[in-house]
Amino acid sequence: MKTASERYAALVRLVESRTVTRATPALLLPAGPYFDLAGEEFGRNLLLTTTNNGVEYCLRPDFTLPIAQQYLEDGLTGAPSAYTYLGPIFRQYQSTPVEFEQAGLELLGQADADNALDQVLTFARWALAIYDITAPSVRLGGVGLFEAFLEAAQIPVAWRSRIRHRFGHPEALERLMERLANPEERVEAPAPDSRDTVIEIVTDAMLSGGLSLIGSRTPEEIADRYLEKQALESAPIPPETVALLQNYLSVAESTETAFERISEMCKQAGFDFDEPLYQVRNHAAALAALSPNADVIFDASFSPRLDYYTGIVFEMTGSDGEVLASGGEYDRMLERLGAGEPVKASGCALWVDRLEREAEQ
C-alpha cells in the first residue's frame, strides 16, 4: 500500500504531465466576478477583504474562474488549451474559515467537446486510482439534456427560463412543480397595453405613496416583474405536460435503465428524444468502460447550482458519501466573462484531503 507522501507525489506527476500547463492563480483575487457568476449564495462562502478604495477581494475560493479569466486575457479565445492545478483554496464552512487543497483539470477551446469531456472523466478516474479508489459512486446529470427536454416537451417559452433557473435547486424546483401541478383559481385584471404604460402606473403609485424612485427596486424593475407574471399567467402548462416534467425529474437510476425510461416516456408523450440522449449515453458507456467497478447512475434532476454549466455534469463520491471529484461542461462561463465568441469548456475539481481520508479507510 502506498504511503500518503507517495500518493501525493503521484498526484503531482499527474498534474505536471507534459500535455498540460500547470496554472497557479494568485491567492488574492477580485471578488466581483464570483458574485457576478455564482451569486450571493456562493458569495457567502468567500473570505473577503476590502481595499481603501472600497474594492472587494477574496482569498482564492476555486481555480476554474481565474484560469478562465487568464485564458481570455492572454488572447487565447478559441485556441485549444489544457490547464491543471494543485493547491489551496479558501472558503467559509459553518461560519469558520477553512483551507482546502484541490487538484483539477480545465480544457478550454477544444475542437472536440465530447472528447474533452471524456478526457476530464479519465483524469478524475486516474486521480481516484492514485488513492486506490476503484469503485466510486458516480452521479451523472444533463443540463443541456434538460434544456432540450423543456423544448421537446413544448413547455411554453415564458416558463422555460423560470424552470431552468431552478434546476439544481431542489427545494425551489419542487415548490414550482407543486405550483404548476396545482394552479390557483384567480381572476386577473386586464394587463396594460405596454411596458411604458406599466412603468408610468408604478411611478405614479410610488410617488403618491411617498416612496423613493431610487432604491432596491426601480419602477422599471417592478414593471418588468409584473409583465413577466402576466406572460406566465397567460401561458399555462397543460396538466399532462406537468406530469411528464415531474416524471422526467424523478428519474435517478442506473444509466441504461434511466435512458430507456426517459426514451419510453417521451415516445408515449408523442415525441422522439433518442437523439438528445445519444451523447449522454456515449459518455456513460465510456465511463463504464473506464471504471467497470463504479456504481454509475443518471439523475435527471442533478445539476450544480451554478448556472454556467451547459452540458453533462458529474460527481464521484466515496464510501461515506463525500464528493471526491465533480465537474462537467461549462461553456457559459467564458461567454459571461466576456469571450467574443463561443468557447467550449469542461473540467473537474478533486478534493485532495477527502481523497486521502478515503485512502486511509
The phi-psi region of residue 57 (left if phi > 0; otherwise alpha if psi is between -120 and 50; otherwise beta) is: beta
Residue 342 included in any domain: no
What is the pLDDT confidence band of residue 231, given thresholds at 50, 70 and 90?
low
What is the arithmetic mean of pLDDT over 148-171? 89
Whether 7 and 106 share a structural domain: yes
Q: Is residue 331 part of a domain?
A: no
On whether residue 181 sits in a domain, the answer given is no
Looking at residue 176, its pLDDT comes to: 83
224 and 247 fall within a common domain: no
pLDDT band at 94 (very low <50, low <70, confident <90, very high): confident
Domain end among 233, 254, 279: 233
CA atoms within 13 A on the CB side of 2: 15
277-335 confidence digits (pLDDT tens):
999 999 999 898 888 999 999 999 999 888 889 999 999 999 999 999 999 999 999 99
Higher-pLDDT residue of 232, 53: 53
227 with 248, same domain? no
Average pLDDT estimate for 197-214: 60
- What's the predicted TM-score (pTM) here? 0.85
Phi and psi based region of residue 327 (left: phi greater than 0; alpha: psi -120 to 50; beta: remaining): left
The terminus-to-terminus CA distance of the chain in angstroms comes to 12
Say yes or no: 54 and 160 in one domain: no
Give the whole-angstrom CA distance, residue 36 versus residue 302: 23
Query: Does residue 357 belong to any structural domain of this protein?
Result: yes
Binding residues: 62-64, 91, 102, 106, 308-309
All three cell numbers of 326, joined, read: 465533480
Co-location of 6 and 99 in the same domain: yes
pLDDT for 263 beyond 80? yes
Domain count, the chain: 3
Q: For residue 290, is it within any domain?
A: yes
Q: Which three cell numbers stand for residue 321?
A: 458519501
User: Both 99 and 166 in a single domain?
Assistant: no
Q: Are residues 46 and 148 in the same domain?
A: no
In a domain, 111, yes or no: yes
**Residue 217 pLDDT:** 67
Q: Is 78 found in the same domain as 128? A: yes
Is 329 part of a structural domain of the chain?
Answer: no
Q: How confident is the model at residue 188 (pLDDT cuts 50, 70, 90)?
A: very low
Residues of the binding site for L-histidine: 62-64, 91, 102, 106, 308-309
Whether residues 278 and 225 share a domain: the answer is no
In whole angstroms, what is the distance from residue 279 CA to residue 284 CA? 9
- Do 107 and 31 fall into the same domain? yes
Residues 269 and 256 in one domain: yes
Structural domain containing residue 36:
1-133+347-361
CATH number (domain holding residue 165) = 3.30.930.10
The residue that leads in pLDDT, 214 or 330, is: 330
Residue 128 belongs to a domain: yes
Q: Which residues pair with 105 in a beta bridge?
A: 84, 348
Cβ distance 353 to 101 under 8 Å?
yes
46 and 95 assigned to the same domain: yes
Distance of CA 356 to the CA centre of its chain: 26
Question: Which domain-ending residue is among 184, 207, 233?
Answer: 233
Report residue 358 CA to chain centroid gap: 25
CB contact at 8 A, 238 and 153: no
What is the pLDDT, as a whole number, of residue 196? 66
